[in-house]
């Protein structure tokens, strides 16, 4: 069974994100970048399937500038077998990413596709669902547990009312949630081995995908700074302020 995992290069989650002075976006120059945390969880789950003898090959794909090779190499150091870089300088929107992934899926013919449930930069949580629609494959989103059984896959997901278990036939799309697993740290020997693993470079044009933006960002601003709180002397004073100033009761 072949597993395809999509990963994205984003600003590291420990970095304090700053807005550019001209409000056109966030500053990325000289900023630490890393693999999207939810994608890292997806890579870990795919590798665990391989270690269990269920999967035979784990292929990692990333899209963006040439520096995305670093993100792919990280996944290869964790245990993936080979990587595919879709090199482009365009800012890819979820639909374009899904269309490119569709082309890669048709080329690679994987049995499962893992993605993070969302990227921490755009927070769109759309690519997995769009890919499933384009391929007409079953999908299990926000997965907190994945089990292969009876020629299919059982996906346990967290919903508002508790836990929901879906039984999907293969091939299928699965997007990982935070509680699916805890990703491993790549060892130094594996980091060195990852440098020799195959990494193919392609472009969106190879799949006939138009990457032109459909959404225009008008302005990016930091959230308003939180105002200092005040102390009140009595409960009645608190109720008055909540009712007449904050207007929440």
The total number of structural domains in the chain stands at 1
pLDDT value at 229 more than 90: no
Residues 94-99, mean pLDDT to the nearest whole number: 96
- Give the model's confidence band at 160: pLDDT under 50 very low, under 70 low, under 90 confident, else very high: confident
Residue 228 has pLDDT above 90, yes or no: no
Q: What pLDDT sits at residue 64?
A: 94
Kindly report the CATH number assigned to the domain that includes residue 181: 3.40.50.620
Q: Report how far apart, in Å, the C-alpha atoms of 152 and of each of 111, 155, 229 are.
A: 10, 10, 54
Contacts of 221 (CB under 8 A, 6+ apart): 19, 23
**The whole model's pTM is what?**
0.87
pLDDT of residue 238: 92
Phi, psi of 112 (to 5 degrees): -145, 150
pLDDT, position 190:
93
Q: Are 23 and 220 within 8 A, CB to CB? A: yes
- Residue 163's domain comprises 2-245
């Amino acid at each position: 069974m072949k597993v395809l995992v999509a990963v994205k290069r984003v600003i590291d989650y420990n970095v304090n994100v700053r807005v550019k002075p001209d409000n056109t976006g966030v500053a990325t120059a000289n900023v630490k970048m890393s693999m999207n945390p939810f994608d890292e969880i997806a890579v870990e789950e795919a590798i665990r399937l391989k270690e269990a003898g269920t999967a035979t090959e784990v292929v990692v794909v990333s899209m963006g500038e040439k520096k995305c090779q670093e993100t792919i190499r990280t996944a290869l150091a964790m245990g993936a077998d080979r990587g595919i870089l879709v090199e482009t300088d365009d800012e890819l929107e979820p639909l374009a990413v899904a269309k490119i992934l569709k082309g890669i899926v048709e080329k690679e013919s994987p049995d499962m596709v893992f993605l993070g449930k969302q990227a921490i930069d755009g927070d769109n949580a759309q690519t997995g669902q769009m890919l499933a629609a384009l391929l007409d494959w079953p999908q299990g989103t926000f997965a907190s547990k994945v089990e292969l059984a009876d020629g299919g896959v059982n996906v346990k997901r967290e919903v508002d009312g508790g836990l929901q278990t879906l039984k999907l036939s293969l091939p299928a799309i699965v997007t990982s949630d935070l509680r699916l697993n805890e990703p491993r740290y790549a060892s130094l020997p594996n980091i060195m081995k990852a440098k020799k693993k195959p990494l193919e470079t392609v472009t969106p044009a190879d799949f006939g995908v138009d990457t032109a933006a459909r959404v225009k960002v008008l302005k990016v601003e930091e959230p308003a700074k939180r105002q200092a709180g005040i102390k009140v002397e009595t409960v009645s004073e608190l109720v008055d302020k909540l009712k007449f100033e904050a207007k929440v009761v």
